[in-house]
Amino acid sequence: MAIYEYRGITQKGKNTRGIIDAASTASAREKLRTQGIYLQEIKEVRREKKKTALTSSMFRKRATVTSITRQLSFLLGASLPVDSALEGVIGQIEDGDVKKMMINIKTNVKEGKSVSQALADYPDYFNQLYVSTVHAGEVSGKLDVVFERLSAMYEKNRILIGKLRSSLTYPLLMLFLAFVVVVFLVSFIVPTFARLFVEFEQALPLPTRMLMALSGFVTKGWWAIFIVLGLAAYVIYRLYETEKGKVAIDSFVLKLPLVRTIVLENFRIRFCSTMALLLSNGVGIIESLTNTEGIFRNSVFTSLIRTATDRVKKGERLSRALASGQVFTSSLLGMIHAGEAGDRVADVLDRIARNGEIELEERLKTLTSLVEPVIIMVIGIFVGFVVLSIMLPIFQINQMFG
């Protein structure tokens, strides 16, 4: 099978372009003719064996994989053959690069590759975890079930990320507005009154002098502030590129009071849901741990999973292997141990993940409700300080002329 890119006119007279796979150019022309498309131009596209140079962002790739998985889950669940299901997915894709990728995958499957092998050619989209899960489904003969579970997992991740974004958007917006208010007062309002006070040559109160000093620094040295912030960001970035720096920064993040709780809960949810998915589809525990490690970037978490993997290889149970990192509470480890005793580890991990999602949502609501009044209070204190600093000299001037 070859891939062809075409440009033509529909029966309604509209210009159209797209991608199609066929055995030959003549076959492609005939295929398009049956679809009511009158060709203007057609050319073969060289198929890339390993991966295409796709420039989509990480979030766009995640959304693409979620959509593809959802459609494959539905089509395979309707008892369609794999190649027909892939054909159905291709017909729903509008992005040209993604469509080429899926046509390549379908062609490779038709030529004898397994679905997991065809997906493995595009690691930017289908990671090792995804490929291993699909491979387990092929071995067990439950490919439709695997895609259904993958679809559910990706949908849960999408909902979780959406909740995190929506919960943090309002506090961040409030902080930004507070910053704008502070900059406006210090840069424009205070200097106007400062010139007035200087003309009377009176000794100014301490709050006024402090505010004028801050205003002068911001208005005259704003460029220095940006340079310092830029250098700090660059140093942190370069430090994070080193192994020791990455460990130090990741460990520091986990020590922040409010952030620590959210990050740890998010890790436990993703770890347990991913492990449950892999184990329930017949993937071995060591391979499941190895694949799960790849979805995390925080070095503290990857180190924990790597250590747990090594301990499981030596014969330890999962509950005991995870106890070394002090990330899982004793109650959660006890639940995993109970699941091991009853050979229901996947079910227990899935239950932990679902309970964690509920707890995280409640904590995010609580955090949002606490942050809002704190930000308003901080803004009120600063505005009150500005007003007091301006009013005190005015009272002095009134007394002087009174």
Q: What is the pLDDT of residues 135-179, one digit of tens each?
A: 877 877 778 888 888 888 788 777 777 777 777 777 778 778 777
Examine the pLDDT at 201 and tell me if it is beyond 70. Answer: no
Q: How far is CA 13 from the centre of its chain?
A: 42
Identify the CATH number of the domain defined by range 2-45.
Answer: 3.10.20
Find out whether 277 and 148 touch, Cβ atoms under 8 Å.
no
What is the band of 45 on the pLDDT scale with cuts at 50, 70, 90? low
The Cα-based distances of 343 to 280, 335, 347, 362 in angstroms read: 11, 12, 9, 31
Q: How far is CA 399 from the centre of its chain?
A: 61
Q: Which ranges constitute the DSSP H helices of 141-256? A: 143-184, 190-199, 206-220, 222-241, 243-253
334-359: burial string, b at 16+ Cβ within 10 Å, e else:
ebbbebeeeeebbebbbebbeebbee
Identify the CATH number of the domain defined by range 165-402.
Answer: 1.20.81.30
Domain segments of the chain: what residues? Answer: 2-45, 58-156, 165-402
Cα 380 from Cα 132, distance rounded (Å):
55
Mean pLDDT for the stretch of residues 82-106: 84
Per CATH, is 58-156 categorized as 3.20.20.140?
no
Please give the mean pLDDT across all residues of the chain: 80
**Could you tell me whether strands 2-10 and 37-45 are parallel, antiparallel, or unpaired per DSSP bridges?**
antiparallel
The reply to whether the predicted model has a pTM over 0.85 is no
Cα 9 from Cα 77, distance rounded (Å):
35
What is the band of 56 on the pLDDT scale with cuts at 50, 70, 90? very low
For residue 353, give the 3-state DSSP assignment: helix
Domains 58-156 and 165-402 share a fold: yes
Find out whether 183 and 191 touch, Cβ atoms under 8 Å.
no
What is the band of 49 on the pLDDT scale with cuts at 50, 70, 90? very low
pLDDT at 54: 42
